Each structure stands twice: as C-alpha cells, then as structure tokens.
Structure 1
C-alpha cells in the first residue's frame, strides 16, 4: 500500500497524520504473508513458474480477471478510507479493532490485485464501466449514486466525517455492513466465472472473510440498539 492510497482519510481534517503512516509502513510485508497463507506464490500470480516457463496465460484487458482486480481494488480502497475516518472519531475498542483489521486486510489484498495488473502488463484503470466484467447483460446502475455494489456515496462519506463517538460508530457499522454485502456479491461473481485459480482463491477468501464480518457487524449494531440499514441522508 502506498502512502497516497491512505491520503483521503488521513487528511480529512486538512492535516496528514504522521502516526497513520508510521503504523502502516508494513502492509507490503503483510501482503506477502497473506499471499503465502492463501497459497499464492508471487511468480505463479504473474504467470511465470519458478523455472521461467509460462504457468498461466496473461488475462486480456477486458477479462473478468482484470475487471475484478480493478473494481475490487477501488471497492477495497473505500473500505480502508471509511475505517481510517472512524478510527479517529471513536474510542470504542471493538469498533477501532474492526476498523484496524479492515484497513490491514483490504489494503493488503488491494496491493496484491494492483501488483497482478502490473505483472500482467495491464493498466490499473480502464475506460470500461464498473462491473462490466460481470457480464450482467446490462450496465450496472446504482440507484443510490454509489459507484459499485455496497459502496458509500460522497454524501455518506461526508456525513461520517461530521460524526463522533457513538453516532460515528453506528453509522460506520451501517455503511460497512452494506459495503461488505456488495463486496461479497462482487467476489462471488468472480469466483463463479474465474479462470485464474490464483485470483479465484483470493476472491473466495474475500467471500469467506467478509461473510464472517457481516455477522460480526450485525451483532455489533444489535448491541448498540441500532438497525442494520443505512438511514436516508
């Protein structure tokens, strides 16, 4: 994870936080550990075996492999930003722990996907519309103004930045619940059509991990006497 990847959340009050940069100097190291835990050797991910022979064909620019990597990287970045915002607006340890876990996990996964695109010789950005890789036979249209399933709108991000304490905790949990539901939908969509076994394993780990966190977040909202849905702005 690069320094500029965390700038939006770190600078929401106009001043970068040096402590955030000190705490997150090691995502690249954790990304490697995560890759090993998932059985994802870096050379195989790039399409080359240890012997130098081609192990995987390089995905096309308009393939589900490339589309999923790009869209999920964007989706993950917002989860990281949301978590940075709430981290500085509550002293509640369970919420801060959840936010810290999401920052680390999703920043690491995002780094892996960006790395694959680079190794495949593909741009990290595309002119294709979000979710085009899912072959839904129609253009993805979000009625709430979000970019992809579950993503918060700019207005919702702005609102979270105005809250503190219990209000910030609850609103963050409500936003993250929807964010995870959308993430699971996207990851499962890729699992169902994947041709790259390496990327498929990562996507399946997202389905498993975020499904577990959906239950955790639901329980945390219940403990706080809050409904799971995001209230209308």
Structure 2
C-alpha cells in the first residue's frame, strides 16, 4: 500500500506543477513568446527529456523495493519525485504548444545527434539503461541492487546533464531554459552524492 501511496502522491504533484507552469506560460509570464515550432530545440528537449526522466522514475521505484537502506531509498524517492514533477512540466508545455509528444525524428535530433543517439537493446539516448540492465536491476537485492542502481543512475544523470546543457544553449523559451539550468545543478549535486555512496560500498561509477 505504501508503494501505491507514493505513486499517487507523485502523480498529484505532477498535476499541480504542470498546471502551474502551464498557466504561467499561457498568461504571458515568458515575455509573450510564441509557441515554438515542432522541430525546435524547445520541443525536442521537452519530448526527449520526458522519456529520459520516465526511465529514471522507473529505476528509482525498482530499487526502492529491492533494498532497505535508508540513504539509497531516500535518494531514489527524491529522484522519482523530482523527475516525475519535471516530466509533468515538459509534457504540459507540449500540450500548451499543441505539439506532438512523439516525433518521427530520432531522439536528440534537436542537438544534432539524431544519427548517434539511439543505442541498442532499448537504450534510446545517451545514459539510458538498456532493457537487459533494467531487467537485471529487478533481480538484485540489497547491496548489489544499490550499487547497480547508483551506477545506472550515474550514467543516466550524465546523459541528462548533457541534454539539459544543450537546452540551456539552444532553447528559446525562458522558463524552459531555467528548468534546464536547474536540472544541471541538481543532477550534478546528486552525481557527487552517488559517487560517495558508491565509494562507501567499495564500488565506482562505470567507465
């Protein structure tokens, strides 16, 4: 039941955040800027980061049920809540702009990386875990689950930071650029924390 409550609480937060940010943009809080084009960096970032965030949320829910360690569970909870919230904002903007949430172009085309973004075994963008890795995470327990989660999420954050920096450089909607800047700062802080947690477990990030 606690798992259900966690999901429900996260969903409520997403709706509130997405609604607030949508109305802020709709009311002209972003200097009256017009909706971006479907092939713009703003739209591309919103679409791709929403997908990227969804996997981080899934990984965090998985490890939450595979360990009893308070520190890792707290980190997983924070990542799941933050990224579910941000995902709601990104999808809310696409709705506001009346743009599709799925593009025929490869992921990260807006960054000029469409020809090398998609990997194998379900890894759609740099840093994303493969289908095999996601399945493996669900089979581990305790310290092994903690280490593998921290390694996967370290890779995930590095890929996310690269994308967010791309939006800071290329996006034109001010509120979205500010969200991307916040992602860079918060995920870098979490990278430092995860490095410490790995070190405590005698492990290191993957190369």
Question: What TM-score comes out, normalization by structure 1 length?
Answer: 0.81
Question: Cα deviations across residues 93-115 of structure 1 (Å, max 9, x unaligned)?
Answer: 00000000011000000000001
Q: Secondary structure at the match of 1:91?
A: coil
2:5 paired residue number:
22
Q: How many aligned residue pairs are there?
A: 205
| Of 94, 103, 122, the match for 2:80 | 103
Q: 8 Å contact 2:57–2:79 — kept in the other structure?
A: yes
Q: 8 Å contact 2:18–2:88 — kept in the other structure?
A: no
Offset at residue 224 of structure 1 (A): 0.5
1:3 paired residue number:
none
1:211 partnered with 2:188: yes
Question: What TM-score comes out, normalization by structure 2 length?
Answer: 0.91
Which structure 1 segments of 5+ residues have no match?
A: 1-17
Q: 8 Å contact 1:132–1:140 — kept in the other structure?
A: no
1:14 paired residue number:
none
Q: Which protein is richer in helix relative to its size?
A: 2
Which structure 2 segments of 5+ residues have no match?
A: none
CA distance in 1, matches of 2:22, 2:32: 12
Offset at residue 24 of structure 1 (A): 2.9
- Across the aligned residues of Structure 1 and Structure 2, the Cα RMSD in angstroms comes to 2.2
Q: 8 Å contact 1:90–1:165 — kept in the other structure?
A: yes
CA distance in 2, matches of 1:84, 1:155: 17
Offset at residue 167 of structure 1 (A): 0.5
2:137 paired residue number:
160
Offset at residue 30 of structure 1 (A): 3.4
